[in-house]
Amino acid sequence: PARPAAPATAGIATALITGERAGVADSDYAALRDSGLAHLLAISGLHLTMVAGGAFWTLRLLLALFEGPALAWPTKKLAAAGGLIVTGAYLALSGAPVSAVRASLMLAVMFTAILLDRPAITLRLVSLAALVILALYPESLLEAGFQMSFAAVVALVAVYEHYRSWTVRFTPSGHLPLALRVLKIAGIYLLANMATSLVAGLATSPFSAFHFHRVSNYELIANLAAVPVMANLVMPAGLLGVILMPLGLEAGPLGVMAFGIETILGVGHGVSALPGAVTLVPAGPGPALGALCLGGLLIALTRGHLRWAGLAPIALGLVLWAGTPRPILLVDGDGETVALRAGDGGFAIVSGRTEGFSTERWIEREGLSEPSRSRQGLLTCDGWGCIGEAGGHGVALVEDGRALADDCRWAEIVIARIVVRDCPSARIVIDRFALWDGGAHAIWRKGEDLVVRSVAETRGQRPWSGAQ
């Protein structure tokens, strides 16, 4: 029997087959994320396309090998029906996570188009798939997975439609010697992989920066090396292993799958260790992402010189992103953890835990890997609380009500974990009731004014927001 898979490869194999990612080591996930290969872990469009698309082409090839069925049967439609069945089986096996359901619906629409004698790869069909998904899961519109999936698909289909005539020009000619035909096919395959990785990477980078505040700089290199291994080794071997499991013959295919996973992990760790592998990006505003999306859609959906008009919204989005004001003070929902911006622009956690969910998210949104300033010297503290400055404005962190009168006279911003009933001199007061009602708060400087916004205000009054 084949040797047992190492825990690292076993965890990733489990994630690819069942969608359960708890067994993936943190170091491996970080390497795949920083190298731009994290999308390989989620059962989504890439994996379902490999499995269902592989089943489609395999069935069509097998039917074409026999003269009778090839001449008398609609082999393409039969293969599409087989692809639909395989899609449903893989979806059921994976436990139907939202990303897999979304990709399955998209593939179902495309296979149905083949059954109805319609083109399967068009922007109209992509829009129909998006409408079906949004009709069933309207909340998907705001999810990073939906946005990145359709950004990549729209970009790839637009490029395919624009350069479709090139496939005829570069189709290997039967008049060439066998060696040249093999080289030509290999060259086309390499160029197609390079173009796919480049286009998909460019299309998804704004969403990666917006949602995850990081961009993988060597994503193209990593995907060129890893995606062919995933498509031609890992997924076929995994599918064969699952098919052979009831017979107890899965050891061989799963051993091949483990070898492919080890190769991908080697690529991920190698690329993520390169200097400058990741660029951390400060959080951008929604209008900036909207402008970038508008520009991308104009380039993808229009024809001729009009598509270059999309560069204007893209430039506007980049300007809006770069000009985004940064908060001068942040306080979490229970008032324990406070971060502020020092006079020199440095960002520091000055109260509470320096590690935790809130602080990690704050640091990410600043485009940092750690606070750029230590808390030393930013606050003066005693047993009743602390005082200091944030962006040139006096700040008081009140722990004891006996300090409240003095702090209210001096500070422009008062943060208190107690109830504050009277503090007329302060411009902004965030006390226990404000934290309980609004959750975490952020404060910005707008000219000479101070603007405060809470999680509750950002979330808004919606049916799914809960009682406010």
pLDDT tens-digit profile, the chain (468 residues):
444 456 678 889 988 888 788 888 889 999 999 998 988 887 677 778 888 888 898 999 999 998 888 888 999 999 999 999 998 888 887 777 777 787 888 888 889 999 998 888 888 888 888 888 888 888 888 888 889 888 988 998 888 887 765 655 555 555 777 788 778 777 877 787 788 888 888 899 999 999 999 889 998 899 888 988 988 889 889 889 988 998 988 889 999 999 999 999 999 999 999 999 998 899 899 999 999 999 999 999 888 888 899 999 999 999 999 988 889 999 998 888 888 888 777 888 887 777 778 888 888 888 888 877 777 778 888 888 888 888 888 899 988 888 888 888 888 999 998 888 888 888 999 999 999 988 999 999 888 889 999 988 887 666 656 554
Is residue 406 within 8 A of residue 395, CB to CB? The reply is no
Structural domain includes residue 1: no
Count of structural domains within the chain? 3
Structural domain includes residue 75: yes
Structural domain includes residue 467: no
315 and 222 co-located in one domain = no
Range of the domain at 78: 7-280
96 and 220 co-located in one domain = yes
Is residue 427 within 8 A of residue 413, CB to CB? The reply is yes
Long-range contacts, 2-10 (Cβ 8 Å, 24+):
2/251, 2/252, 2/254, 2/255, 3/255, 5/254, 5/255, 5/258, 6/258, 6/262, 8/261, 8/262, 8/265, 9/257, 9/258, 9/261, 9/262, 9/265, 10/258
341 and 314 co-located in one domain = no
128 and 257 co-located in one domain = yes
Q: How far apart are the first and last CA of the chain?
A: 60
160 and 247 co-located in one domain = yes
Structural domain includes residue 206: yes
78 and 222 co-located in one domain = yes
Structural domain includes residue 13: yes
366 and 227 co-located in one domain = no
Structural domain includes residue 465: no
Burial 16-50 (b: 16+ CB within 10 A, else e): bbebebeebeeebbebbbbbbbbbbbbbbbbbbbb
181 and 144 co-located in one domain = yes
Structural domain includes residue 293: yes
192 and 93 co-located in one domain = yes
230 and 110 co-located in one domain = yes
The pTM for the full model equals 0.79
Give me the phi and psi of 408, to 5 degrees please.
-65, -35
Compute the chain's Rg from CA coordinates: 27
Return the structure tokens found at 5. Answer: 């898979």
Closest by Cα among 391, 393, 415, 390 to 404: 415
